[in-house]
Structure 1
Amino acid sequence: MADREIPGVTEWVMEMLDPADLRPAPPPDVEMTFTLARVASADVNRALYAAVGARVCWTDRFPWTFGQWRAWVERPELGTWLVTAEGTVAGFFEIEAQPGGDTEIHLVGLTPEFVGRGYGGHLVEQCVRRAWQRDRLWAGHTGPATRVWLRTSTLDHPNALANYRRRGFKVAEETTFTKRVPDPRLAPWPLPRDPRLTMRPTKEAS
């Protein structure tokens, strides 16, 4: 298990310049709820990053320390939504309010149990709707969104590009390159501290 050079990786920058361009997706056959995380948690975001992204080579954050995760999620510009369905976590997305009205969807995806059930279009639609409402839902100090954008690549889910197009995104840039990808089965994220240093023996019940 080691890094591997993947040649011919194509990456697309996709954008939407008007909320009227968003095209709805067919509704899922189960109720899905989308909840803004009001308490920032590095543990939750990095766990979901692994659960959702490992199968599609989300590995760029593997080198991040716990401190870097905290610095990322605790900014007021970043909004994280937790998606639930059938009593469990079904996915999540991260949206960043950037200067000048740019609003980037950094991550959006389903947990493995919900992949392949036709829910991806609805997930992206709901994510984009919230991206356009950034000044009302979170990051109100940054002003309204004027552009919603994201990056996807050939390492992402095979249906990702088509899904984004169906929701109304257009390709703004395209690049092809060789990318070094760590083994997605590894998740080298240490805990913020060694729990053994704070554990105390408990007395046995009599």
Structure 2
Amino acid sequence: MADRKGGGQAGGVGAKIATYLEMTSPDQLRPADPVAGLALEPVAATNPLVRRLHDRIAMPHGWSSLAWSPRRWAEWLATAGWHWVVRVDGQDAGLVSMEERGEGEVAIAVFGLVPEFVGRGYGGYALTLAVRKAWNLPITPPARRIWLHTSTADHPHALPNYRRRGFRPYRTEIEPA
């Protein structure tokens, strides 16, 4: 996950602070209020929409994955097992991608909204739906830990949203540019 993000200025010139967060039980989820018209719809990794939405989400934050070669992108798609488009009233509003990391661990590798849907009250409920999906993925053994990370290069509402939903920080790192 850390290789997908980049940029930022916190923690020194060109550095960023990455915060890793986790949930170890489904009952730790503190759901946001439902938002009418918001849904997660599954999409195949081979659908070009996955890359298009990823890039629109990543662009304002300078994620390093924007510079991935087609080969590197294909390699990542082969490991990220599940993708959903966040839709609001039928419009593409964001993307959720998850990876199984073995031993019941699930990484939310991509979670975000495209710029025109940011700051409109969709993130909390979209994350609620994503976390519910993560806990119910068809993996063996069943999910026992859901984790993700964010950084100071991401939207300033990202970390507070993750914490409000019940994610707990377990590690922080200062990463050079």
Q: Structure 2: any 5+ residue segments left out of the alignment?
A: 1-5
Out of 153, 156, 165, the residue aligned to residue 154 of structure 2 is: 156
Q: Structure 1: any 5+ residue segments left out of the alignment?
A: 180-206
The alignment's TM-score, normalised by the length of structure 2, stands at 0.86
Equivalent pair of 1:5/1:178 in contact (CA under 8 Å): no
| Cα pair distance change 1:5/1:102, threshold 3 Å | closer
CA distance in 2, matches of 1:9, 1:61: 16
The alignment's TM-score, normalised by the length of structure 1, stands at 0.75
CA distance in 2, matches of 1:111, 1:149: 22
Deviation at residue 93 of structure 1 after TM alignment? 0.5
Deviation at residue 68 of structure 1 after TM alignment? 2.2
Out of 53, 66, 72, the residue aligned to residue 68 of structure 1 is: 72
Match of 2:40 in 1: 34
| Cα pair distance change 1:64/1:4, threshold 3 Å | closer
Q: How many residues align?
A: 168
Residue 96 of structure 2 aligns to which amino acid in structure 1?
F
| Identity score, percent | 36
Out of 95, 98, 104, the residue aligned to residue 92 of structure 1 is: 95
Deviation at residue 4 of structure 1 after TM alignment? 7.4
Match of 1:177 in 2: 175
Q: CA deviation digits over 1:40-98, x for unaligned, max 9?
A: 2263222111111211222x2133221222232244x5100011112310111101111
RMSD of aligned residue pairs (Cα, Å): 2.0
Q: Equivalent residue of 1:168, what SS?
A: coil
Deviation at residue 13 of structure 1 after TM alignment? 0.7
Q: CA deviation digits over 1:96-116, x for unaligned, max 9?
A: 111111100011011122111
Match of 1:16 in 2: 23
Indicate yes or no: 2:121 matched with 1:118.
Answer: yes
Q: Equivalent residue of 1:44, what SS?
A: helix
Deviation at residue 5 of structure 1 after TM alignment? 8.1
Residue 167 of structure 2 aligns to which amino acid in structure 1?
F
Q: CA deviation digits over 1:151-192, x for unaligned, max 9?
A: 11111110111110100000100111321xxxxxxxxxxxxx
Task: Report which of the two structures shows the higher radius of gyration computed on alpha carbons.
Answer: 1
Mapping of 1:186-197 within 5 angstroms?
A: none
